[in-house]
Structure 1
Amino acid sequence: MNVSTVNQSDCPDVTVPFPIFFAIGVVSLAENLLVVVAVIRNRNLHSPMYCFICSLAAFNTIASLTKTCENLMIVLAENGHLQKKGSSETKLDDVIDSLLCMSFVGSIFSFMAIAVDRYITIFHALQYHNIMTMQRAGVILAVIWTTCGVWAVLMVQFFASKFIMICFVAFFFISLAFICFLYAYMFMLARSHAREIAALPGSMRGALTLTILFGVFVVCWAPFFLHLTIIMVCPLNPYCECYRSLFQLHVVLMMSHALIDPAIYAFRSNELRHTFRKMLLCSEWRQCS
Structure 2
Amino acid sequence: MANSSFHYSSVLHMEFSPLSDLAEDNETNSTAGERNFGCVQIRIPQELFLTLGLISLIENIMVILAIMKNRNLHSPMYYFICCLAVSDMLVSVSNVMETVFMLLNDHGLLDVHPGMLRHLDNVIDVMICSSVVSSLSFLCTIAADRYVTIFYALRYHSLMTTQRAVIIIVVVWLASITSSILFIVYHTDNAVIVCLVTFFCTTLVFNAVLYLHMFVLAHVHSRRITAFHKSRRQSTSMKGAITLTILLGVFIVCWGPFFLHLILILACPTSTFCNCFFRNFNLFLILIICNSLIDPLIYAYRSQELRKTLQELVLCAWCFGP
What's the TM-score bracket when you normalise by the shorter of the two chains?
A: over 0.9
Shift of the 220–136 alpha-carbon distance from structure 1 to 2, 3 Å rule, reads same
Q: Distance in 1 between matches of 2:189 and 2:318?
A: 52
- Candidates 77, 90, 98, aligned match of 1:70: 98
* Corresponding residue for residue 2 of structure 1: 10
- Candidates 229, 232, 240, aligned match of 2:266: 232
* Corresponding residue for residue 189 of structure 1: 217
* Corresponding residue for residue 280 of structure 1: 314
Q: How far is the alpha carbon of 1:28 from its aligned partner? A: 0.3
**Residues 106-143 of structure 1: CA distance to partner in whole angstroms, max 9, x if unpaired?**
10111011001000110100000000011110110010
TM-score by length of 1: 0.93
Q: How far is the alpha carbon of 1:259 from its aligned partner? A: 0.2
Q: How far is the alpha carbon of 1:164 from its aligned partner? A: 1.3
**Residues 13-35 of structure 1: CA distance to partner in whole angstroms, max 9, x if unpaired?**
32200111011100000000000
Counterpart of 1:2 in structure 2: which amino acid? S
Q: How far is the alpha carbon of 1:84 from its aligned partner? A: 8.2
- 3-state DSSP class of the match of 2:43? coil
Q: Distance in 1 between matches of 2:215 and 2:262?
A: 32
Structure 2 portions without partners, runs of 5+: 1-8, 12-18
**Residues 63-106 of structure 1: CA distance to partner in whole angstroms, max 9, x if unpaired?**
11111211222233334445687111101110011011001111
Q: Distance in 1 between matches of 2:206 and 2:59?
A: 29
Alpha-carbon RMSD across the aligned residues, in angstroms, is: 1.9
Q: Percent identity?
A: 42
Counterpart of 1:203 in structure 2: which amino acid? S
Check if 1:241 corresponds to 2:269.
Answer: no
* Corresponding residue for residue 252 of structure 2: 218
**Residues 132-190 of structure 1: CA distance to partner in whole angstroms, max 9, x if unpaired?**
01111011001011111111111111111111111111111111111111111222222
Q: Distance in 2 between matches of 1:66 and 1:190?
A: 40
Check if 1:53 corresponds to 2:81.
Answer: yes
Q: Distance in 1 between matches of 2:224 and 2:91?
A: 40
Q: Distance in 2 between matches of 1:98 and 1:37?
A: 25
Check if 1:257 corresponds to 2:265.
Answer: no
Shift of the 231–80 alpha-carbon distance from structure 1 to 2, 3 Å rule, reads farther
Counterpart of 1:57 in structure 2: which amino acid? A
Which one has the largest radius of gyration?
2
Counterpart of 1:147 in structure 2: which amino acid? A
Check if 1:164 corresponds to 2:192.
Answer: yes
Contact 1:14 1:247 in 2 (8 A): no
Check if 1:151 corresponds to 2:179.
Answer: yes
Shift of the 196–73 alpha-carbon distance from structure 1 to 2, 3 Å rule, reads farther
Contact 1:83 1:89 in 2 (8 A): no
- 3-state DSSP class of the match of 1:193? helix
Check if 1:13 corresponds to 2:41.
Answer: yes
Counterpart of 1:204 in structure 2: which amino acid? M
Aligned positions, number: 285
Check if 1:203 corresponds to 2:211.
Answer: no
Q: Distance in 1 between matches of 2:93 and 2:56?
A: 9
- Greater mean alpha carbon deviation, residues 163-172 or residues 115-124: 163-172
Shift of the 284–231 alpha-carbon distance from structure 1 to 2, 3 Å rule, reads closer
**Residues 193-248 of structure 1: CA distance to partner in whole angstroms, max 9, x if unpaired?**
23246812411111100000110001000001101111111012111112112111
- Greater mean alpha carbon deviation, residues 183-192 or residues 250-259: 183-192
Q: Distance in 1 between matches of 2:245 and 2:287?
A: 19
Q: Distance in 2 between matches of 1:97 and 1:85?
A: 19
Q: Distance in 2 between matches of 1:19 and 1:123?
A: 47
* Corresponding residue for residue 4 of structure 2: none
Counterpart of 1:69 in structure 2: which amino acid? M
* Corresponding residue for residue 50 of structure 2: 22
Q: Distance in 2 between matches of 1:85 and 1:196?
A: 68
Contact 1:62 1:99 in 2 (8 A): yes
